[in-house]
Amino acid sequence: MSFLENISTELQNLIYIFASILFITGIKMLGKEDTAVKGNFLSALAMFIAVIVTFLGPEITVNPYIILAGIVVGALIGSLIALKVKMTSIPEMVALFNGFGGLATFFIAWSEFNSNADNTFQYVLIMITTYIGGVTFSGSIVAYGKLSEKLRIQKGSFITKLFTTVFYASLIYLLYAIFLTKTLSLPFDFYILLLALTLIGGIGFVLPIGGGDMPVVISLLNSFSGIAAAFAGLLLTNNVLIVAGSLVGASGLILTVIMAKAMNRSIGNILFVGYALSSTKSSSEETGEVKPINVSDAYLILENASSVLIIPGYGMAVAQAQHVVRELGELLEANGTEVKYGIHPVAGRMPGHMNVLLAEANVPYDVLVEPDDVNPMMDTVDVAVVIGANDVVNPSATEEPGSPIYGMPIIEVHNARTVFVLKRSMSSGFAGVQNPLFFKENTRMLFGDAKDSIGGLVSEFKE
Amino acid sequence: MSFLENISTELQNLIYIFASILFITGIKMLGKEDTAVKGNFLSALAMFIAVIVTFLGPEITVNPYIILAGIVVGALIGSLIALKVKMTSIPEMVALFNGFGGLATFFIAWSEFNSNADNTFQYVLIMITTYIGGVTFSGSIVAYGKLSEKLRIQKGSFITKLFTTVFYASLIYLLYAIFLTKTLSLPFDFYILLLALTLIGGIGFVLPIGGGDMPVVISLLNSFSGIAAAFAGLLLTNNVLIVAGSLVGASGLILTVIMAKAMNRSIGNILFVGYALSSTKSSSEETGEVKPINVSDAYLILENASSVLIIPGYGMAVAQAQHVVRELGELLEANGTEVKYGIHPVAGRMPGHMNVLLAEANVPYDVLVEPDDVNPMMDTVDVAVVIGANDVVNPSATEEPGSPIYGMPIIEVHNARTVFVLKRSMSSGFAGVQNPLFFKENTRMLFGDAKDSIGGLVSEFKE
Amino acid sequence: MIISALKSNNSGDQRSPIHKDTVKNLLDLGIEICFEESIGKGININDKTFEELGLKKYKREDCLKNSDLIITNQALHISELALMKKDSTVLGMVNPFSNKDFIIECSKKSVNLVSMEFIPRITRAQKMDVLSSQANLAGYVAVIEAAKHLSTALPMMMTAAGTLKPAKVFVIGVGVAGLQAIATAKRLGARVEAFDTRDVVEEQVKSLGAKFVKIDLGKTGETDQGYAKELTDEQINKQKELQAKVCQQSDIVITTAQLFGRPAPLLIDNRTIDKMKPGSVIFDMAVETGGNVEGSKVDQIIDRNGIKIIGISNLASQVSDHASLALSNNYNNWITDFFDKESQTINFDFQDEIINNSVLVYAGEIKNERFK
Amino acid sequence: MIISALKSNNSGDQRSPIHKDTVKNLLDLGIEICFEESIGKGININDKTFEELGLKKYKREDCLKNSDLIITNQALHISELALMKKDSTVLGMVNPFSNKDFIIECSKKSVNLVSMEFIPRITRAQKMDVLSSQANLAGYVAVIEAAKHLSTALPMMMTAAGTLKPAKVFVIGVGVAGLQAIATAKRLGARVEAFDTRDVVEEQVKSLGAKFVKIDLGKTGETDQGYAKELTDEQINKQKELQAKVCQQSDIVITTAQLFGRPAPLLIDNRTIDKMKPGSVIFDMAVETGGNVEGSKVDQIIDRNGIKIIGISNLASQVSDHASLALSNNYNNWITDFFDKESQTINFDFQDEIINNSVLVYAGEIKNERFK
Amino acid sequence: MEEYILLGFVLILSIYLGLELISKVPSTLHTPLMSGANAISGVALVGALVLGSEGQLQNILAFLAVTFASINVFGGYLVTNRMLKMFKKK
Amino acid sequence: MEEYILLGFVLILSIYLGLELISKVPSTLHTPLMSGANAISGVALVGALVLGSEGQLQNILAFLAVTFASINVFGGYLVTNRMLKMFKKK
Ligand SMILES: NC(=O)c1ccc[n+]([C@@H]2O[C@H](COP(=O)([O-])OP(=O)(O)OC[C@H]3O[C@@H](n4cnc5c(N)ncnc54)[C@H](OP(=O)(O)O)[C@@H]3O)[C@@H](O)[C@H]2O)c1
Ligand SMILES: NC(=O)c1ccc[n+]([C@@H]2O[C@H](COP(=O)([O-])OP(=O)(O)OC[C@H]3O[C@@H](n4cnc5c(N)ncnc54)[C@H](OP(=O)(O)O)[C@@H]3O)[C@@H](O)[C@H]2O)c1
Ligand SMILES: NC(=O)c1ccc[n+]([C@@H]2O[C@H](COP(=O)([O-])OP(=O)(O)OC[C@H]3O[C@@H](n4cnc5c(N)ncnc54)[C@H](O)[C@@H]3O)[C@@H](O)[C@H]2O)c1
Ligand SMILES: NC(=O)c1ccc[n+]([C@@H]2O[C@H](COP(=O)([O-])OP(=O)(O)OC[C@H]3O[C@@H](n4cnc5c(N)ncnc54)[C@H](O)[C@@H]3O)[C@@H](O)[C@H]2O)c1
């Protein structure tokens, strides 16, 4: 049954090719600052074309009104959410939408299972599509919950462990479903069980991962939903689904890797460490959690700061980052931010070490301030950027009488609204003591060589 | 008729997919210094697999012994040429091989014309494949002749013009063959005429192009032969032909563009200027034309340069660009480019002015060279980047006895392959005299404040 | 409590133990400060200025007699101790290793003695570390002096009258003074190389953009206070030999190698000096503790075949103003940390690491093992 | 042709008119070079070195007697001219404005005189410009000397012993010497300000990263040679007054204002000096041509209420090696440009702008209008 | 089967292309790109359109698939657009 | 026709991929890359193998096509390899 006059399959396929090209071009353009908006538009156009052509094609069997109704409902809900949502909660929205996309594929696979699971190849496809779609859905929903802080389940809690176990069970069951159910007959509806396990397993997949890693996970889930769509395309022998789906699958994967790198994490680390370490975590929990940040997020925060305090230390000297640091300072000022440099008397390894380097880089003297002058107004500082300094910003010098550095006046960056600490690892400074600053609520660690990190920020500003 | 036991079409196609992946991977690896050898090997492996699978496949109709004979003869000739040829004449060998590849497609198309030119689509494909194959062949042979200096026909000579005219005629005839011969019947064998015109036209395509531009032309012809192979693939509905051919076609095209840019030419310029301008060239030479360039083009050229000379002057001091200049130098070096700074004794406004600034920016002393040391090897410099210097690179100091600066030794950047001059306007320097350097053929003006321009280049490198 | 600041009894020492920019801290604690007349002469601060700040001017004798605490940049004459009140305190740079008599006399006269040289190298005591604060300035002065005596300019200049090559500066021993010397020479545009026996120094040298000369001497080390350990004879010889090559190509060699409480190692002997270019300058910063350079003499410029060997005592005194500022801050920080506001006295708490290290004599008893 | 290089007859001048790194150029032209014994003493080059390069050692007298061309860094004694061959040439820095007798005597004795001070400021002659090459080094030396005499360090240092403030340096007159002084002070980490009457200088000061002090004096200007025009009395007064404010806040003031061939303008008078901080240093680089500072004396350090006023003559001679290298290059460039290889003589072509300017006496005739 | 092979070809080429396209992306674009890619993955809508319709369950599944895919598509594109516009401003 | 469309798909995706793959190549590799690509274009050999064989002309054409394509393939790979080896040295 067809709604309007049919167009031929050939024509449909030709137009699919065209839409695919648009998708490719769109996603390529999305990757560049100045063409991104246009790229998004092109990809939306491609989607529009693909949908229209399909709708006019000969394969439609469902009542077109049902379809239209679905589209209208979906469009309304989607648009409303997209336009109403606060800018700050965009990441969780993406997670939500992504979950719905996964859910759609889940239903597609289900439907296909019901209608034509005859040949082995298709059967396998259906199992996989179901699984990926389902995991994407429930995983995304959990990610949404975590990001919007509606879901407050501890990483190490019992519930988490339970769900994680179901996740592994669901994986095993999937394998079983693929290889065995065709030959063995079962006393119950194995597929319904797969559906259920999948949905629950997805929860277990994301639950043990920390909130800070959610962006990476969302990107991964996004890649999954692309792969699911591609498999659905194979199932339905639909070109445009295959192309668009696998494009998203692949580019999402790359993006995931890039994002993880920017956060100085490996994907394996993100996905599995939470689970594996959940038992041993409790002790380190006390000192708090280290929250890494990547360059682009740091940039976004700096970009919106109205006062920034830069605290250079020995690490800046080692990285010979003084020139880029000055450049960053200048760019911030050009951006309307007030920039000061907090120079601790013993930063570096010789008296006046920072002065030598900053003078070399032409940082004017009048933006250099001493701890005594800056500490009282620290709470007006939006972002304190600690560049390779450690001991001189270590709060235990004031708080922990036992510490070897106790008694040294420090630059009290922990009182700033946000603190970025740029260093290469969690290792300690000259005095060899751990720094509680790194675990504070308002601290973000930007790992990497200081020159590279600052260089990254500078490029961001210049783009 | 099949030589050995047939393998199924399905299996053949699956293996074709595998070969295609190998081709793709191979060509990607060829584009990177450290994987290039392996890439070449992978692509050779892909070729081997594809040929074997085809040979064992069901579609072979020609007597296998003929095929084997052809392969053996070809392998012998090809290997002999490849191994015997002197390293210096490799470019012309590539031209020759490429021509033979084109010739092969030409024969394929011809053969297909004889056997099954029934449906319009195939018919059109055959015409185009014939044409591209033929032009590739004869064009490559001409390129070979020019490069090996066996062919000494002047760009502007009558013969050249004659052949060029035939080339345009052959293009028109191709269109005619595509659109009209199917419906009109002709008194003569139109296809034989196409074959002939194609071969002669190819000569006319390449003949008017200067010997220096041959590498770009060969790259273009290489792209053509790829396209021809891809069309042949469509003709024979052969996947691997399509994939490999269009890969080569597309990457060859990009490579052509990159090479043309690296030579600071546009493709249009290379292909058509020889023909068009052969008459009017003489007069504009005198004062010349100012050729501005933008940051991104300058970047592309710098990115591909293997030796860069930076010549700072008073403008760099005024712009206080020393820090970004150093950064650019470092990025270039990281990119494998050799970077030197040519310091003229009176650059700036005080003795040692450039030294003060470059030392401040931490440019090591050993990359600073004096004019006497750099002038003799100026022709090995790919790009001379003149940053706010003017008088000290003014050729009239050596060439124009009347000039107020006559007699001053200069840094002879005009002898470098390409010169970038970074300044804000066309205004003159300290001595107040016009600078003929700005109008030279190999000079590009990058207008703007030196700090901004260099900053722009630095960002490009960082992206 | 009454604190008196005394002038240096060494005429070459221009520094003052108090500075107009720093006295306020002590006055705020309720301490009365007296000073020996014309104490600020070397730093261009006249007595009136100090008086206007609320300090009292006295003769040296009167200062000694009336004070609870004496601050000084040099050890006092032994005879002067007799004038002092019992259980009063002398605080300052008293050069304990060459003034053992003085220490004994203090214990006899029951005058407490705080040697600021013995401030331990712990983080919290950095603000009192006089050795660092003076060595730092000394490193700067050494380069300015060496530059003055060199017959070429330090930076490179490519000019119409030819290219003037940059001077090569080689710094041996990269403690506080060495680092500042590196920084200053780098600033002036010299090519700087440096060497030290302690491995950690390599990174520090690079952090100033200079080059570290690698000389493998086998196992070397540092004490828990960050001072270098003494080398074996074999190691010293190897070092000398390999250093000679670098010296040969250098225009300025600055040596700063010291060993806390022991004579400085001899690192540059005449064999090396004779290989150097005429016109070069060797600056021996360790000259006061025996010298790193053969033939170097305190406060003399020796010319050996056109090579100038400079030894200047009390380098920091050349920038007397900054040196005094730093010193007075160091002293103030010590006093402030151990001043008991209630009782208006110093709280000699030998549990405290700083007190335990820096107080050599207390209540008639020599506290430091080394001087017992 | 025989060229002889003479020692300076002024004992304070350590520079040599020849340098081991530069003689090769002349030798390659086939010129014979003689030198007065121990000519290289001030730059640590001994006679043997020169002899090994192919030069001949003579007594001063013999040099004078046998040479076609004499190169020297100072005017000769008038009596010495009598020894010279007729039509031989004296080339060098002869300080013509204070040696008018010498010029007249040259014309009488028919000795040609080339004053390198009169090299015109055209592009092609930059390589012979002795005033620039020496002023450049003088600018560097002035800062090193001033730094040495200042009682604080120039750079800022934020240390555990307090923050040492950077010195403020004020450079008045930004010609070649002033620019190099700015560059050197900036290198050392001082805060640098500068002033000059010529407008173009503002951009140049900024091109070194220093601050230009704006003082509006109405119309000022420069000659076609790039020298500053003399100011009116009114302008000078205005300048003094506004400058005083900057001086007051400065630790080092370096004055370089000169007017070619006329006494230097007095820019800092006692009223200004008395407002300055004790301990400050004023370096008068124009002291030899009359001085920019009231009370400055050649080769003396005047202490006026704790402010040191330093006047040192022949500053470049302090870095004698580089100064000699530059000078000898300047001389060589002149000789090479006008040496006729065929006839092995100097080609005195008065069509040429450089010859026309720099040759004061030729063939017994005074050529320069100023000295006729 | 022949068709499946060609489709597999298309799949593999697309994956390759996806990997190549996103090799160098400025980090500011990570989130918008992710969001844009997410919108594209809503192409499942096309699949949802052609589902079978025998039986009530099938119809319900089709409706749900279409609805959720539509949310993904519309929401995704709009959010991406908003995000990109925000970047534009500076 | 369906097959042609899929083949066209493959063609277009491959072209896109080709364009993306070679976006940043160091200039030293321009010639080897060109030569390597040239060798790949000898894939026409695969086409030559499956040509028709009715008549003498066809057989001759097939033989010629195979021969020339083989020259391209063998010569191309070998030359590329030599060239790359040369680069390796430095
Ligand atoms: N100023 C003086 O006169 C003087 C003299 C002697 C001792 N000290 C002592 O030195 C210390 C100075 O404190 P500080 O905060 O300046 O330094 P710090 O406490 O030594 O810490 C330096 C930090 O920089 C990081 N770092 C090193 N290289 C880096 C690179 N390339 N990029 C980014 N980060 C890098 C290190 O962490 P990662 O390894 O994780 O990157 C390290 O934690 C004080 O303890 C002081 O007492 C000072
Ligand atoms: N070194 C010495 O001792 C000394 C002393 C006195 C005189 N001189 C003379 O100074 C000259 C030095 O030659 P030079 O080549 O260094 O300089 P120059 O010939 O004076 O040329 C400087 C160029 O820099 C450009 N410029 C100025 N500001 C700029 C900015 N912010 N960004 C980009 N470009 C900028 C100017 O062109 P736009 O305005 O178009 O940007 C100008 O053409 C010689 O003639 C020399 O004789 C030298
Ligand atoms: N509280 C603190 O954390 C603190 C305070 C001040 C100094 N320090 C550290 O203490 C260390 C020593 O500083 P210092 O300036 O007092 O040292 P110093 O004056 O005792 O010696 C100067 C340098 O000479 C070196 N030296 C010794 N023998 C040598 C030899 N044979 N050859 C070459 N070099 C030799 C030493 O290693 C030292 O670096 C430095 O690393 C400094 O950073 C730490
Ligand atoms: N061939 C050439 O192109 C060339 C060669 C050398 C110098 N120059 C130029 O010539 C100019 C003069 O150089 P110089 O070093 O010989 O100058 P100088 O030694 O004659 O004077 C030093 C400076 O003092 C300044 N001055 C004079 N009166 C002053 C006053 N009342 N207040 C403040 N400043 C005053 C002058 O303007 C000058 O800048 C410079 O701009 C230099 O760049 C050009």
Q: What is the pLDDT of residues A274-286, one digit of tens each?
A: 544 433 333 333 3
CATH architecture observed for domain C2-128+320-366? 3-Layer(aba) Sandwich (3.40)
Residue A326 to residue B323, Cβ atoms within 8 A: yes
Q: Tell me whether residue B279 is in a domain.
A: no
Residue D207 to residue B397, Cβ atoms within 8 A: no
Which pLDDT does position A276 carry in this prediction?
43
d(CA B217, CA B145): 13
Q: What percent of chain C has pLDDT over 90?
A: 80
Q: Tell me whether residue A278 is in a domain.
A: no
Residue D302: strand pairing partners? D309
* Ligand with an atom nearest the CA of residue C230: 3
Question: Are residues A165 and A204 both part of a single domain?
Answer: yes
Ligand 2 mutation pick, B310, B316, B341, B349, max ligand atoms within 8 A of CB? B349
CATH code of the domain covering residue A288: 3.40.50.1220
- All residues of chain B having their beta carbon less than 8 Å from the beta carbon of residue D186 are 356
B343–chain C Cβ distance below 8 A for any pair: yes
Q: Name the residue with the closest Cα to ligand 4, atom 39.
A: D175
For chain C, domain boundaries: 2-128+320-366, 135-318
Which residues, other chains included, contact B400 with Cβ-Cβ below 8 Å and sequence gap of 6+?
B406
Query: What separation in Å is there between the alpha carbon of C209 and the centre of ligand 3?
Result: 19
Q: Name the residue with the closest Cα to ligand 4, atom 2.
A: D121
* Of A422 and A254, the one with more pLDDT: A422
Pick from A36-40, A114-118, C364-368, D282-286: least confident: A114-118
- Largest Cα–Cα separation, chain B: 87
Which residues, other chains included, contact B137 with Cβ-Cβ below 8 Å and sequence gap of 6+?
B99, B100, B102, B103, B106, B199, B202
Q: Name the residue with the closest Cα to ligand 2, atom 43.
A: B429
Residue C330: strand pairing partners? none
Residue C191: strand pairing partners? C168
Q: Supply the Cα-derived Rg of chain F in whole angstroms.
A: 17
Query: What separation in Å is there between the alpha carbon of B461 and the centre of ligand 2?
Result: 27
Torsion of CA A139, A140, A141, A146, to 10 degrees: 90
Neighbours of chain D (3+ CB pairs under 8 A): A, B, C
Residue C57: strand pairing partners? C35
- All residues of chain F having their beta carbon less than 8 Å from the beta carbon of residue A28 are 20
Of A118, A391, A449, A452, which residue is the catalytic one? A391
- Asked if residue F14 lies in contact with residue B250, where contact means CB atoms within 8 angstroms, the answer is yes
Q: Tell me whether residue A245 is in a domain.
A: yes
Query: What separation in Å is there between the alpha carbon of D357 and the centre of ligand 4?
Result: 19
* Ligand with an atom nearest the CA of residue B290: 2
Residue C113: strand pairing partners? C90, C361
Q: What percent of chain D has pLDDT over 90?
A: 80
CB atoms within 10 A of CB B280: 8
Query: What separation in Å is there between the alpha carbon of A391 and the centre of ligand 1?
Result: 7
**Residues of chain B under the 70 pLDDT cut:** 1-7, 116-118, 155, 181-188, 211-212, 262-265, 272-289, 463
B360–chain A Cβ distance below 8 A for any pair: yes
Q: Which domain holds residue B123?
A: 3-272
Q: How many domains does chain A have?
A: 2
Query: What separation in Å is there between the alpha carbon of C175 and the centre of ligand 3?
Result: 4
- All residues of chain C having their beta carbon less than 8 Å from the beta carbon of residue A397 are 123-124
pLDDT 10s digits, C252-272? 999 999 888 889 999 999 999
Query: What separation in Å is there between the alpha carbon of D256 and the centre of ligand 4?
Result: 9
Question: Are residues A243 and A341 both part of a single domain?
Answer: no
Which residues, other chains included, contact F41 with Cβ-Cβ below 8 Å and sequence gap of 6+?
B98, B101, B222, B225, B226, B228, B229, B244, B245, B248, B252, F72, F76
Which pLDDT does position A280 carry in this prediction?
34
d(CA B81, CA B75): 10
Distance from CA of A152 to the nearest CA of D (A): 47
Ligand 1 mutation pick, A356, A391, A411, A434, max ligand atoms within 8 A of CB? A391
D168–chain A Cβ distance below 8 A for any pair: no
Mean pLDDT of the region A153-166: 80
Residue F14 to residue E13, Cβ atoms within 8 A: yes
Residue A391 to residue C123, Cβ atoms within 8 A: yes
D204–chain B Cβ distance below 8 A for any pair: yes
Locate the chain E residue with the closest alpha carbon to A299: E28
Question: Are residues B11 and B116 both part of a single domain?
Answer: yes
d(CA C273, CA B420): 49
The domain boundary, picked from A272, A298, A329, lies at: A272
- All residues of chain F having their beta carbon less than 8 Å from the beta carbon of residue B18 are none
Q: Which residues of C are catalytic?
A: 121, 126, 129, 132, 227
Res D187 pLDDT > 70: yes
Which pLDDT does position F21 carry in this prediction?
75
Question: Are residues B295 and B246 both part of a single domain?
Answer: no
Question: Are residues B166 and B94 both part of a single domain?
Answer: yes
Write down the pTM of the prediction.
0.71
pLDDT 10s digits, C76-90? 999 999 999 999 999
DSSP code, position A5: P
Which pLDDT does position A283 carry in this prediction?
32
C138 Cβ closer than 6 Å to some ligand 3 atom: no
Please state whether beta strands D345-346 and D339-340 pair in parallel, antiparallel, or not at all (unpaired).
Answer: antiparallel
Question: Are residues B341 and B401 both part of a single domain?
Answer: yes
d(CA A294, CA A288): 19
Locate the chain A residue with the closest alpha carbon to E66: A70
d(CA B44, CA B27): 11
Question: Average pLDDT, whole number, for chain C?
Answer: 92
Q: Which residues of B are catalytic?
A: 391
Question: Are residues A199 and A331 both part of a single domain?
Answer: no
Q: F24 falls in which pLDDT band (50, 70, 90)? A: low
Q: E53 falls in which pLDDT band (50, 70, 90)? A: confident
Query: What separation in Å is there between the alpha carbon of B398 and the centre of ligand 2?
Result: 18
Question: Are residues A295 and A383 both part of a single domain?
Answer: yes
For domain D135-318, give the fold.
Answer: Rossmann fold (3.40.50)
Interface with A, mutate which of F3, F11, F12 (most A CBs under 10 A): F12
Mean pLDDT of the region C193-207: 91
Residue C191 to residue B365, Cβ atoms within 8 A: yes
d(CA A99, CA E68): 9
Q: F5 falls in which pLDDT band (50, 70, 90)? A: confident
D and E touch with 3+ CB pairs <8 Å, answer: no
Q: How much is the ipTM here?
A: 0.66
A and E touch with 3+ CB pairs <8 Å, answer: yes
Which pLDDT does position E2 carry in this prediction?
66
Which pLDDT does position F28 carry in this prediction?
62
Q: A33 falls in which pLDDT band (50, 70, 90)? A: confident
Question: Are residues B229 and B375 both part of a single domain?
Answer: no
Structure tokens at A462: 């210049």
Res C114 pLDDT > 70: yes
pLDDT 10s digits, D19-53? 999 999 899 999 999 999 999 999 999 999 999 99
* Ligand with an atom nearest the CA of residue C207: 1
A425 Cβ closer than 6 Å to some ligand 1 atom: yes
Residue A370 to residue D155, Cβ atoms within 8 A: no
Q: Tell me whether residue A438 is in a domain.
A: yes
Of D47, D58, D110, D121, which residue is the catalytic one? D121
Mean pLDDT of the region D284-294: 94
Residue A14 to residue F16, Cβ atoms within 8 A: no
d(CA D85, CA B451): 59
Query: What separation in Å is there between the alpha carbon of B316 and the centre of ligand 2?
Result: 8
- All residues of chain F having their beta carbon less than 8 Å from the beta carbon of residue E14 are 13
Res A5 pLDDT > 80: no
Question: Are residues B259 and B300 both part of a single domain?
Answer: no
Res F81 pLDDT > 90: no
* Of B338 and D226, the one with more pLDDT: B338
The domain boundary, picked from A213, A246, A272, lies at: A272
d(CA B351, CA B356): 9
Res D277 pLDDT > 90: yes
Mean pLDDT of the region C304-326: 95
Res E16 pLDDT > 60: yes
In three-state secondary structure terms, A438 is helix
Q: Tell me whether residue A277 is in a domain.
A: no
Which pLDDT does position B3 carry in this prediction?
45
- Asked if residue F32 lies in contact with residue F60, where contact means CB atoms within 8 angstroms, the answer is no
d(CA C247, CA C267): 11
Q: Any idea what the Cα angle at residue A249 is, between residues A243 and A253, rounded to 5°?
A: 145
Interface with E, mutate which of F5, F7, F10, F22 (most E CBs under 10 A): F10
Which pLDDT does position C133 carry in this prediction?
95
C131 Cβ closer than 6 Å to some ligand 3 atom: yes
d(CA D84, CA D81): 5
Res A163 pLDDT > 70: yes
Which pLDDT does position D65 carry in this prediction?
93
- Asked if residue A301 lies in contact with residue A418, where contact means CB atoms within 8 angstroms, the answer is yes
Separation of CA A47 from chain center: 25
- All residues of chain A having their beta carbon less than 8 Å from the beta carbon of residue B121 are none
A23 Cβ closer than 6 Å to some ligand 1 atom: no
E86–chain F Cβ distance below 8 A for any pair: no
Most confident of the following: B98-112, C225-239, D174-188: D174-188
Res C19 pLDDT > 60: yes
Question: Are residues A217 and A303 both part of a single domain?
Answer: no
* Of D188 and E90, the one with more pLDDT: D188
Structure tokens at C115: 């040697």
Distance from CA of F24 to the nearest CA of A (A): 16
Mean pLDDT of the region D342-369: 92
Res D179 pLDDT > 60: yes
pLDDT 10s digits, A76-89? 999 998 888 876 67
Q: Could you give the C-alpha distances from B129 to A221, B204, B256, F38, in angstroms and in order? A: 45, 19, 21, 17
C177 Cβ closer than 6 Å to some ligand 3 atom: yes
